[in-house]
Structure 1
């Protein structure tokens, strides 16, 4: 994997770049649709390519390990072959999912013992095994196994958790260095910065992660309930330490405002379930503001969902029709809304990139946030 930094905004830390993988190029800043179990919910691969114009999608180690399982994935030739997506894929290590199990997992130095949320069966994730699983999945970018501490937590818990993550990272790096990809394409390991909302820990973690000299770096443990101001403060600290020559990935973020603020602080990559999850609940992000399609005001509005956004779905279907589908609980309502919201998110980061390249990102950002986050 290669990263080319193409331009940095003169008034902010915003960056435009290009990541090159064996499955194609990714222009940054970028938003990555979440395909937890090998699919972006309700969205065909063709729609991801042609309507959403996604450049990279996510899979999740925990969920894919449980279903369909490693045997099926390896027989298929990896996730790219299994789901028909021939562009880059990133896999989350499953750390967040395992640690969200709470009562049915046990953290040790060795790894994490947990019970499947599906059938209660017992499993052990070690850093080495998580690397092996991601080799089988075959993603272009793979994540180190980390502990994501809860929010809030005290300084001592966050400190111990951070050091455990660092020790696990060394084991992840060792395993990757002594094994080979299974399907002929390279896999880039991203370590994850932790430290909760404590400045001294974030500095220490970012310095350690940077010292590992991996192809890219991720920032975890944010957008887990802390105030947005704390998230931005930690992000500014961490991005000031992580090397400029490598992509920076803020995990699990977020709203359009979060993403634009994150870009301004020097972040390159984002993912979040929000566009599809909110779509299933009737919330649409548009170039004019946020729509709750369940509101009565849309029942006789026959204008397109978002004419300015372009694309078939957003310009063909009317707000009135989508409200009708939503009220009737038709599956098509969630599909239309999901495709639309994902297209919006890819449009958003594309617009940010255009303004970085044009040199007016700092002027554009506050106006965009004010417009895009208003409720219609």
Structure 2
């Protein structure tokens, strides 16, 4: 009988802890597990936190001290008089819509203990001007800063791997954002409708549909395994580093303003539609590492020159399938001299009517003239520049 009573008391205590809500100094808490609590949803328009809110690291309750490890879902939403919040180093996660619609919140510092910021955490904080993120943050969820109209800049720490969709959607004052090389995935419409002028220092390995839609970003450095940057209408320059092996299907589709693509040696595969409808793109340099170029890769572009350094003609199929000109007649293809015949006999590359020999770019410099444009190849050059600039 005594053993049964002891077991009953333990079960009862655990159930009370699990379901218990309590208040300390005006803040509501809920037990997550024994010894740990989260700030809970207790804030409404009529009973809200105001001014400068300081969340404690530990709170007393039931004769013990309990660690605050999470700011719960909707915990401090719609607190219109709240201007700033201090989050303790014990917190590891910020829940869904935790500070949603705190319309006068103007600054927040996320401590280095925080690993995850869930969806909509600061959505509609229209006066938020300053955000310092945790240096150990891994996940930035969907809509985290959506409609933060006053936010001018955002620095994403080097620890972040995942950026959710619509992260800064509608942040019309956002001009500068820094994305580290650690990021492996960027959600769709992340910067739609914002006025980002530059993104550094890469654009992740995988960018989902419309990641840059309607932004005015001018330049980008692509990540280590670029997949999709669809409809980045204002992107003008792209640098694809030598760590990239594959430019995936539709990677730069509808980047109408894209004028310059620098593909460094390392890329082996360019998949279907990679540069489809990049109407401002006028020339292209393919490094010697390229082994295959897929269907429609350059359709509906303005390419008039291709300089391909691959000694063995890359596998290719209808790379200019569609367009408003006969690309195979209009485009001038420059290839290594020793491979000229191989290109001419190739089922795809042989369709080009203007295939010309370019001496090995490691040899003595030479000039090629065509329609008053000059191409200067230096003996130690690593790429061909059709605009006539002298290459180092």
Q: Which entry has the higher C-alpha Rg, 1 or 2?
A: 2
Structure with the largest fraction of helix: 1
TM-score by length of 1: 0.23
Structure with the largest fraction of strand: 2
TM-score by length of 2: 0.22
